[in-house]
Every structure is written in structure tokens, then in C-alpha cells.
Amino acid sequence: MSRKSRKVPETICHKVDDSQKFFKNVKIFLLNAGIEKARCDIFRKQTERYGGVLVSNMEDLPGYIVVEDKMEAERMCRLLRIDQPPSDVNIVKSSWLSACIKQKQCVDIATHELDLSLFTRKRKKELDINDSGNEEEKDNTSEKNQEQKPARMWHSYKKPKVEEEEGVDPESDYAPSDGEDTVQGPSTSSTSSTSPEKLIAKGQWICTQSSKNVSGNLNEHITSKLEAMVKKYESTSDQWRAFGYKKAIQALRKYPKPITSWEEAKALPGVGARLADKIWEIAESGELRKLNEFNADEDIKVIELFTNVWGAGAHTARQWFQQGFKTLDDLRTKAKLTHQQKIGLNHYDDILDRMPRSEAAAIEQVVRMAAESLVTGVIVQCCGSYRRGKATCGDVDILVTHPDGKSHRGLFSKLLSRLKETGFLTDDLVSAEDNGSQKKYLGICRLPGENHRYRRIDIIVVPYDEYACALVYFTGSAHLNRSLRLLAKKSGMSLSEHSLNTGVIRKGNEKIFEGTPLPTPTEESVFKHLGVPYRPPEERDH
């Protein structure tokens, strides 16, 4: 049959009623690069025919970006003139659109999504997230993370002015791309570094402030909703927005009175116009439409359920979801699980349940008694949220050392053996992790007696000359730690759980010379070297 005489398929010609419009109000951005013109024309006609809305501006999304089947994420970004794939849009191959039209229904995108893994690997460098708008060093808590979670991507259509010590609204359309500094990068020479005192004088550093609010949290009705949003964004690997919401939560907790206007919300550190909109929406109505949308999304509920399995982050949770798993029983019976994930599933509810301070104290006492039975004079300290004075704890981090500087050697394996003999340690997640001169155990414990739940525990044995820096690090909060490390970095120093080094030489973010460790016999000495007023642990819950 000649091209002229070929009939247009009937499916393209006849009209459909509203009940057949499966694309009703669905927004679709068609990137036609690599797709034949005739096929593009069919896609456009069929999309509109079945109720879809074709958009030419990505700011009109969320919805779907449709690309040709062999498209690569990096090329897509170049064509769209964006730095990274957006996080709030489904990016699908044209095969998905074809399947929808063929089956006359909006089909599952799981097998049609554009693969972003190669793009993520190429741009593996984590963002140096802002302290209060500044570039911040990555939170070095990978040993506490359940898995390395790939950063979610976002729009970056415009670059705003980012001022020293001023936050960036996570709800804005811009976030710095990998390798792009929000402020001037650190000096490449230790000799030209700025003193901590001068840096502190230039802006409000989180590490210089107390987290305490004598009047309590007067905006708890707002922060509770924002905390729920943090969990949603973390479950979808949108770490940028999650971190931005956390900063807004801290600002709201310290605010001396209830928020009574949009202008008040906008004036908070790190809050831009769009996040202020959400804060004011909660203040006015008690609800947040975006959170309600998340809560109603069954797919997000499943991914969030899977993300809470210890040993599985957002990426793995999404893979399980794409494989068709919907429940924890599906994972137990059908999924290929690691040793850690099996343990995480076995104790799913117990690990998620926050324990009271009294239980954390009892766990610390069991470890202390076991350690003292092995070495006299040993120091055992429970850190984390317990040491910061929180009413409940998610897990227990216990530091072990000895003031003579040598008796900690060999204690790690003996202590674990003793605690396993008594049945206190029930499951090993990471039985022995060497971190320089420090040794760390990640596992599950359970107090003796009936009606006790299984709890997450980390035991870290450190040499005494590293104890103060380790104590600062493992006490936290993570926000405080980032602020301290950034201040050290910009002062020509470096701070870790091992030491505070001076005279560090960097080329960009790479250390050319590690520097010389400063004497840090106490936590107070760490703060003093950095020019920061000492804050007791209960004032570090930023």
C-alpha cells in the first residue's frame, strides 16, 4: 500500500468520552530529540485525545518527561539546559507512552523509567551542603548510614545570590550543581586561611549558638508537619530538600514566639519564599497540602516502608518497589536480601521504635560493667541523642577508652565476646570495622529479662588521645558537626572523629597536606582551638 493511500488507524480518528480519558489532567513534556517526527505527532495527538496536557515549559510540571528510549540522562540534561534531572518529575522512555496508548490506560512506569544510575556515578561527589548558606563538608557518618544513598536531582534554572551565612530555600528551583560552590571555595594554602574568630565575626555560625530555647518549641504544630516532610523526602533520596527542611525546623524551634505572618516565616534563616508559603499554610490552616498528597500516594507509602529496613536505603527500596514488592512479607519471601537486611526485617518494629532514656542508660550500664570486668579504670560513655538530653533515642552509640592510653588495646574483641556470651548482643550487623586506630561494632542488643525489645547499638573503642574529638563527633548533632568541620576547613584546619589538625593545605577540596594534630585532651579544648564557645551536650541538639 502506498504512503498516500495508507489509512490512518481508527484508534487515532474516533472520539473518546470522558470515561476513556485515562490521561485526564496529566501533564506531559515531550522531549522529541531522537524520536521520529511522525511518532511525535502521534504521541501529541493521542496524549491530548486521552485527556493529557502537553506542556512546553518544565516549570508547569510535576508530571512526566518523555524521552526517546535510548536517551542518556546526561544528554537529556544538556538538551533541557539543566544541571541535573529534576526530582519531582517522572522521567520515562517513549515506550511508556506507547504502552499507555496501546493498553488505553496509564501503565506502571517501573520498567520504563530512564536509568539515572550512570549519571549518578559520574557525578558521585556529594554536595558540600551549606552550614547556614555556606558550603559545608559532607556529613562523615557513612558508618551509621544504612547504605550509600544516591543524591536526588533537581531543577537548576537560575542561580540566585547566595550570601555568607544565609540559607538556601530547599523549595526554590535552584540548588548548586556538583562541584559548584555557593560561596568562594577554601584557600589552597594554609598560610592565607582566615582565623576562626574573623570567620565567626562575619556570620552566625550554628556551632556558636545554643540549641536551647527557654520557652520551648512554640511552633511545634508547624515543625511536626515539616518533620514528616523530611521523612518523605529522605525516602525518595531528595537529600537537598530534606536538609533544607531540617534547617527550617531548627530555626522554628528556636523562634521565641508562634509564627503569625508569612513575613515572619520568610525572615527565618534558610527560609525562602516557597518554604515560607508552606510554613504559613500550616500556621493558617493546620494542614499542608503537599504532605497530604504524599500521605495519599500508595507508591510512596511502600517505598517509605522499605526504606525503614535497616541496610536498605531509598535506592534499594525503589528497586524493590520496581520489582513488584508491596509488603514486608514480599521482601521476606521473594527478595534477595543481604545479611544486614534480613536482620533489619526480623527486628523491623523494634528498630523503628524509639527507646526511653532509661532503657538507653541501662544498655550503657551493661556495656560498662562488662568492660570494667575486663579492664579496671575504663571509660564508657553513651553518646548521640542520649548525651544531648533527648527524652527518647533511636539507637545507642557507646564510646570506650582508657586514660592510660594503652589499656584499650585488645579490649574490643574481648568486650564483644563477653557481651555475646551473656546473650546481650544478639545479631551482628558489622562485627568489626577498622577506622584508623578506632574499632567499631554495629549490631543488635537486648537487655536481660522479659518484655525488652531488640535495640540498635554501636560500640566504638578509641585511643585516649582521640577520645575528645570522638566524643564531640559521636555526640553530635550532625548539623553542629558540619558547622564545626566547615569552620575548621575555612580556618586552614580539619576536624574529624580522630583529631583536630592545623596547617592543612588543600587544593580545592583535596588535601595536599594533612596538617599537624593539635593537643585536644578535652572537648573544651576542641571548641577553644576553633574559637567557639563551649556548649554542653544538651545545647548541641541543632
Task: Identify the pLDDT of residue 467.
Answer: 98
SS3 assignment, position 21: coil
pLDDT band at 106 (very low <50, low <70, confident <90, very high): confident
Task: Identify the pLDDT of residue 291.
Answer: 92
pLDDT band at 74 (very low <50, low <70, confident <90, very high): confident
Q: What is residue 4's DSSP assignment? A: T
Q: Which fold has domain 10-121?
A: Rossmann fold (3.40.50)
Separation between Cα atoms, residue 484 and residue 486, nearest integer Å:
5
SS3 assignment, position 116: coil
Task: Identify the pLDDT of residue 59.
Answer: 60
- Let me know if 278 is a catalytic residue: yes
Query: What tens digit of pLDDT does each residue of 501-536 get?
Result: 999 998 877 888 999 999 999 999 999 999 999 999
Mean pLDDT within 61-90: 81
Separation between Cα atoms, residue 362 and residue 354, nearest integer Å:
15
Task: Identify the pLDDT of residue 131.
Answer: 40
What φ, ψ does residue 210 adopt, rounded to 5°?
-80, 145
Query: What tens digit of pLDDT does each residue of 153-193 get?
Result: 222 222 223 222 323 444 443 333 322 222 223 333 444 56
Q: Between these two residues, 121 and 182, which has the higher pLDDT value?
A: 121
Of residues 407, 392, 389, the one with CA closest to residue 540 = 389
DSSP 479-514: HHHHHHHHHHHHTT-EE-SS-EEES-EEETTEEEE-
Separation between Cα atoms, residue 72 and residue 68, nearest integer Å:
9
- Out of 27, 232, 278, 439, the active site residue is 278
- The CATH class of the 355-462 domain is alpha beta
Separation between Cα atoms, residue 136 and residue 487, nearest integer Å:
9
Contacts of 61 (CB under 8 A, 6+ apart): 27, 29, 55, 86, 88, 89
Contacts of 170 (CB under 8 A, 6+ apart): 240, 241, 242, 243, 244, 245, 248, 275
Report in angstroms the alpha-carbon separations of 322 from 148, 311, 317.
19, 18, 9
Q: What is the pTM of this model?
A: 0.65
Task: Identify the pLDDT of residue 187.
Answer: 36
Task: Identify the pLDDT of residue 125.
Answer: 45
Separation between Cα atoms, residue 282 and residue 226, nearest integer Å:
9
**Residues 387 and 475: beta-carbon distance below 8 Å:** yes
**Residues 161 and 173: beta-carbon distance below 8 Å:** no
Strands (E), 421-481: 425-435, 438-445, 455-461
**Domain residue ranges of the chain, discontinuous segments joined by +:** 10-121, 355-462
Q: With 70 as the cut, is the pLDDT of residue 358 above it? A: yes
* Least-confidence region, from 3-12, 194-203, 493-502: 3-12
Give the helix ranges, DSSP H, for 203-255.
Answer: 220-235, 239-254
Of residues 176, 189, 190, 222, the one with CA closest to residue 84 = 176
Task: Identify the pLDDT of residue 77.
Answer: 83
Separation between Cα atoms, residue 314 and residue 307, nearest integer Å:
5
pLDDT band at 120 (very low <50, low <70, confident <90, very high): low
